[in-house]
Structure 1
Amino acid sequence: MRTTLVTATAVALCAVLTGPSLGAHSGGHVATRAAMRAAVADGVPGVTATARDTHGTWQATAGVGDLRTDRPRSTADRYRVGSITKTFVATVLLQLEAEGRLALDDTVDEWLPGAVRGNGHDGRAVSVRRLLNHTSGISDYTYDEDFVRTYLLKDGFLEHRYDTVTPSELVAVAMTHRPDFEPGTGWKYSNTNYVLAGMVIEAVTGRPYGDEIRDRVIEPLHLRATSVPGTRAALPRPSSRAYSKLARTPTGPTYDVTTLNPSLASAAGEMISDSADLNRFYRALLGGRLLPPRQLEAMKTTVETREFAGAGYGLGLIARELSCGVRVWGHGGGIHGSSSEAVTTADGRHSLAFNFNGDWSGDSEAVVEAEFCGDPR
């Protein structure tokens, strides 16, 4: 499920095999290896994945990390995780609620007066909870045609890839459109919800949302590969190159989009991590290490999405039933040149995180299905 900044918008726009590189646990995962190779055969430049289960940690790569040099991907690659950022943001807001510093039923207008106004939008009718579970009805700025031309299609991206965009400017783009529905009467994924959620964190704490994520999540869990880059354009090393078609169809030339100013994603999708860190984060979250029981239960209380079969959306957390009956929790994410997934079982005993370094092809759902349903354990 690609719930992403760029690949959600890619619905409007249309997101040489190498042997696997093995980590601590090299047995099994035959179906996962095959799904990774199939993604590369489908056009993804390369894949890196890390899984952890009762047998230990397993890591593998397929394809290349650099189309120019044929350098393979690394299991230690840092990559842009896109909308996986949303789970981190929701976690911080739920921690603040546990501390009594805000309530999920506070309105957006209480914390951001006047930010959500215009064309039928009204922040006095939208709660923080409705931001987090996408029942606010607030328009998604990434579907604005001017935004698409400026930041997603080739000519605009190549001219504006290093521009800084403020959260308020992103919200203002959304306010030029009508709401998708009245708050609480439907569900639709909107990146604007999480830009606003990041702004609420700053209003509550007086600090940038990224600083709160760092102090509350990244440092306590020792997530050494994870960061909130702000306006920093480069990927930290080790990393692979990231590629996109920058077009409305998945054909035509391939462009290197590795460096970009991620402020265009803000709290909806700017973070960087690696597969091992993502597994550690979701295992800690589902294991109750980051939230008290009441807040974790609220996060896992899902609403029907309709847009994604077999899935429910909680507070920055997606639950889905796989074909074999296994239920996994996590999030997907994409941004220019990067498509990622991170999921874990509710007991935290089996987790998977992986990344495609191309945004126009590859079946991420097939990789998840292969890992949790493909091989007997």
Structure 2
Amino acid sequence: MPPLRTLLALPVAVALLGLPPADSSAFSAPPTDAVLPLLTTRGGAPAAALLAREGSTTRYAHAGTGIARSDHFRAGSITKTFIATVVLQLAAEHRLSLSDTVEHHLPGLVRVAGNDGRALTLRSLLTHTSGLSDFASDTGGRAPVTPRQAVRIALTHPPTARGRFSYSNTNYVLLGLVIQQVTGHPYADEAERRIIAPLRLTGTSFPGSRTSLPPPHGRAYAADGTDVTDLDPRVAGAAGELVTTLADLDRFYAALLDGRLLPPHWLREMRDTRAAHGAYGMGLFPEKLPCGTTVWGHNGHISGSYVRTAATVDGRRVLTFRVNTDAIADPDLEPAVLAAEFCPRTS
């Protein structure tokens, strides 16, 4: 899982689609269903699909072949929103504090190569401001590792400047270990009990070491065309192992942002981007679209799958789209899809 792409070329996307600039009062975006096929023709994906939700109304569209509406797929770093939600629920229950140090919960684990868990807080893990190296930069997202092995790999590198935003999967692997230490249960069990079961996300699971996807599912392809449908989720762990569906992701983000999973204070904390200088909250990041609308959500990149969910701040309107390959070849297409969905059309 490569670093999160939080700064995308929005002006370029606008120019490519023949749209007015971001400060135009008459911004007009093409319908999302018209932009979606570009993910296959210009984006290099074998197939793409989206599911939009507004209130109780949903709209599905797909392009190419090999994807169906009910398919299960790997969601990559969207897992981080689930992990962050569990941590913030534990904070709301006073079972931990975001100012707790990593050392307090995982004594002695982070004490190598200038990395010091006594100086790192849970808040710094949630906001990617810990300075810890990303273990996936070493493994390439291909080698299955245990959580502690992932941490040890990361600790072979000195930290970057603490307090600056630097996306690292290691942060969320550590948060998975903190959840287990605080609750006595694996992070997957806590997410199931607190999120998946209450919201009836019947297509969502933490597969652990299970390499196959549950049916129904299509195929997943690496950038070179290799079939990577079967994959050991331990390549990502708490940073990206989730398996889910389009409908479940729409339902989850709608429930999260409309306040069904966190008390108001903790939802505001989740959306507070000051620690990461506007780039990231806690398991969520904002994206300001060319029309001025800001949407909240996350993306997910894992071998054979790229997923993006975005929603209005109240959760009433949500869009999830996915492609069945590693990434979108043209990075301007992602903001174009979001603009087409969330920016108002004018005549």
Structure 1 segment 176-187 matched on structure 2, within 5 A: 176-182=156-162, 184=163, 186-187=164-165
Q: Which residue of 2 aligns with 1:157?
A: none
CA contact (8 A) 2:165 2:279 kept: no
**Does 1:241 find its partner at 2:214?**
no
**Offset of 1:361 from its aligned partner?**
2.8
**Offset of 1:327 from its aligned partner?**
1.2
| Shift in CA distance, 6/238, structure 1 to aligned 2, threshold 3 Å | farther
**Does 1:140 find its partner at 2:134?**
yes
**Offset of 1:63 from its aligned partner?**
0.8
**Does 1:353 find its partner at 2:333?**
no
**Offset of 1:282 from its aligned partner?**
0.7
CA contact (8 A) 1:6 1:336 kept: no
* AA in 2 matched with 1:91: T
Stretches of structure 1 that go unaligned for 5 or more consecutive residues are: 10-28, 66-72, 153-159, 246-252
| Shift in CA distance, 280/376, structure 1 to aligned 2, threshold 3 Å | farther
CA contact (8 A) 1:32 1:374 kept: no
* AA in 2 matched with 1:293: P
- Structure 2: distance between partners of 1:55 and 1:272: 24
Q: Which residue of 2 aligns with 1:15?
A: none
**Offset of 1:312 from its aligned partner?**
2.9
| Shift in CA distance, 339/118, structure 1 to aligned 2, threshold 3 Å | same
- Structure 2: distance between partners of 1:8 and 1:104: 23
Identity of aligned residues (%): 48
**Does 1:314 find its partner at 2:285?**
no
**Offset of 1:373 from its aligned partner?**
2.0
**Offset of 1:368 from its aligned partner?**
1.4
CA contact (8 A) 2:45 2:325 kept: yes
Q: CA RMSD in A?
A: 1.9
What CA deviation, in whole Å up to 9, does each residue of 1:109-168 have, x standing for no partner?
111111112111000000001000001111111112xx23xx54xxxxxxx6xxx42000
**Does 1:325 find its partner at 2:292?**
yes
What CA deviation, in whole Å up to 9, does each residue of 1:152-205 have, x standing for no partner?
4xxxxxxx6xxx4200000100000011113x2x11100000000000000001
Q: Which residue of 2 aligns with 1:18?
A: none
What CA deviation, in whole Å up to 9, does each residue of 1:261-282 have, x standing for no partner?
1111010000011111111111
What CA deviation, in whole Å up to 9, does each residue of 1:65-117 have, x standing for no partner?
1xxxxxxx211111111000000000000111111110000000111111112
**Alignment partner of 1:334 out of 301, 307, 315:** 301
Q: Which residue of 1 aligns with 2:194?
A: 216
What CA deviation, in whole Å up to 9, does each residue of 1:4-39 have, x standing for no partner?
x25759xxxxxxxxxxxxxxxxxxx96211221001
Aligned length: 320
SS at match of 2:339: helix
**Offset of 1:256 from its aligned partner?**
0.3
- Structure 1: distance between partners of 2:251 and 2:83: 16
**Offset of 1:375 from its aligned partner?**
4.0
Stretches of structure 2 that go unaligned for 5 or more consecutive residues are: 6-28
Q: Which residue of 2 aligns with 1:41?
A: 41
SS at match of 1:210: helix
CA contact (8 A) 1:286 1:347 kept: yes
Structure 1 segment 1-377 matched on structure 2, within 5 A: 5-6=1-2, 31-42=31-42, 43-53=44-54, 56-65=57-66, 73-144=67-138, 147-148=139-140, 151-152=141-142, 164-182=144-162, 184=163, 186-245=164-223, 253-303=224-274, 312-362=279-329, 363-373=333-343, 375=345
- Structure 2: distance between partners of 1:287 and 1:369: 21
- Structure 2: distance between partners of 1:313 and 1:276: 24
| Shift in CA distance, 361/293, structure 1 to aligned 2, threshold 3 Å | closer
SS at match of 2:97: coil
Q: Which residue of 1 aligns with 2:21?
A: none
* AA in 2 matched with 1:45: P
Give the alignment's TM-score, normalised by structure 2. 0.88
- Structure 1: distance between partners of 2:267 and 2:187: 20
- Structure 2: distance between partners of 1:298 and 1:54: 25
